[in-house]
Structure 1
Amino acid sequence: MTTQEIAGRLYELCQKNDSATAHDELYANDVTSTEKNMAGEVETIKGLDGIREKGKKFQSMIEKVHSGYTNEPKVFGNNIFMEMGMDVTMKGMDRMNMSEMCHYETKDGKIISERFFY
């Protein structure tokens, strides 16, 4: 797949909130994921299994998703940029709006890294 094709498929799956299929179809096994953790420290997770586990952990913290959005991706070379957000109630917390800028890097037809900026 080209980076443009990956971006289109990723956008389609993100709109359906289907990260499992995105991981299966689009991610390299040795992918890295970098973002701030709850303590505000930058953390990098290595490997597809680690990213899947991170996603399950995040989903387990959600009480209710009220709405969400994914803006169309922008592709520059082998880089994909997308803005995503959600109106969500986390367990034990008040309802809040979350938004992030997502950066994905591709190589050999797969996503090799993702970074999230809040």
Structure 2
Amino acid sequence: MAFVVTENCIKCKYTDCVEVCPVDCFYEGPNFLVIDPDECIDCALCEPECPAEAIFSEDELPPQHVKFIELNAELSREWPNITEKKESPSDAEEWDGVKDKFKYLER
């Protein structure tokens, strides 16, 4: 069972989670992070580190975020690996908690 990055990460893209991942399974897009489900070891270290509370265990995923399982798998094969914490976008706090952000996902 893997962890999944969901909608609230879009345009927030905090990277606190990346810093604690022991297997470097995070991948970075223009305004979103994803977890490679094949690399994730289900250690749960990333979930409490996410300021946007956008990371869930696959078995505790809210129904409205199920589509993010496939999206994380797909984009982790396309995007570059990220292994170190970076500066968050300057407007990340403004986007944290905004509903219906999927339309803003940049691939």
Query: TM-score, structure 2 length as denominator?
Result: 0.31
Greater strand content: 1
Structure (1 or 2) with the larger CA radius of gyration: 1
